[in-house]
């Protein structure tokens, strides 16, 4: 099927890919967007911190031996996290939370490689386990529950909104309020 128009888009010399996207106006405004989002945190409008957490299992593979926290890194500035999609269901063992959370306003200054690393989209070395954690900031004290999540799908850069977005789904085995692995929620193999 041919296009009846005299000039095709591929033949138009005025059309071309952006040869220097790293120097575009949108990229130059990333730090301004982050500064504005930091104001939300500073005035108390971002109560949920989001961290990227990595465990190392002493037995050499996930679930074998004892886990230790190798790293935890805050997403900064604090993204917009609304855990309204997580619902609790009362079971014999207590309250079980399930559901998804959409996270927006993740800094546009993260590269795709950094975002994939923070969300553990690429495999970790043997014996390492990564997840996302959402925890209330210290306004309610130090005993707020930590909720463990994993990313579903692929984080998306929304350049027209100056941010990355991601969808997270709730997992079990959240850490204790003090940040230590929860021995009750772990699937330990000795």
Burial class of residue 13 in the structure, from the number of CB atoms within 10 Å of its CB (0-12 exposed, 13-18 middle, 19+ buried): exposed
Give residue 41's pLDDT.
96
32 φ, ψ to 5°?
-65, -45
Instruction: Per-residue pLDDT tens, the chain, 190 aa: give them.
Output: 677 777 788 888 888 888 888 888 888 899 999 999 999 999 999 999 999 999 999 999 999 999 999 999 999 999 999 888 888 887 877 778 899 999 999 999 999 999 999 999 999 999 999 999 999 998 988 888 999 999 999 999 999 999 999 999 999 989 999 999 987 655 544 4
What is the DSSP pairing of strand 94-106 with strand 67-74?
Answer: unpaired
Among 155, 153, 151, 154, smallest CA distance to 168 is for: 151
CA distance 187 to 55: 13
* Interior/surface letters 40-79, b for 16+ CB within 10 angstroms, e for the rest: ebeeeebebbbbbbbbbbeeeebeebebeeeeeeebbbbb
Alpha helices in the chain (DSSP H): 25-28, 30-42, 112-118
Among 38, 41, 29, 51, smallest CA distance to 109 is for: 29
CA distance 108 to 37: 11
Give residue 189's pLDDT.
45
């Amino acid at each position: 099927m041919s296009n009846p128009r005299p000039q095709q888009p591929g033949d138009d010399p005025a059309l071309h890919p952006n040869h220097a996207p790293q120097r575009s106006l949108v990229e130059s405004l990333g730090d301004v967007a982050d500064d504005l989002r930091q104001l939300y945190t500073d005035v108390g409008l971002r109560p949920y911190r989001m961290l990227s957490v990595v465990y190392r299992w002493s037995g050499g593979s996930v679930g074998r031996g004892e886990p230790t926290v190798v790293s935890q890194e805050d997403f900064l500035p604090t993204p917009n996290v609304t855990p309204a999609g997580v619902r609790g269901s009362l079971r014999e063992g207590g309250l079980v939370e399930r559901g998804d959370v959409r996270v927006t306003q993740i800094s546009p200054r993260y590269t795709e490689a950094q975002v994939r690393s923070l969300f553990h989209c690429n495999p970790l070395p043997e014996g390492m386990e990564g997840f996302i954690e959402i925890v209330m900031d210290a306004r309610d004290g130090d005993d707020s529950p930590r909720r463990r999540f994993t990313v579903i799908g692929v984080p998306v850069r929304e350049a027209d909104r100056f941010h990355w977005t991601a969808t997270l789904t709730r997992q079990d085995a959240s850490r204790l309020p003090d940040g230590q692995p929860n021995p009750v929620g772990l699937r330990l193999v000795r």
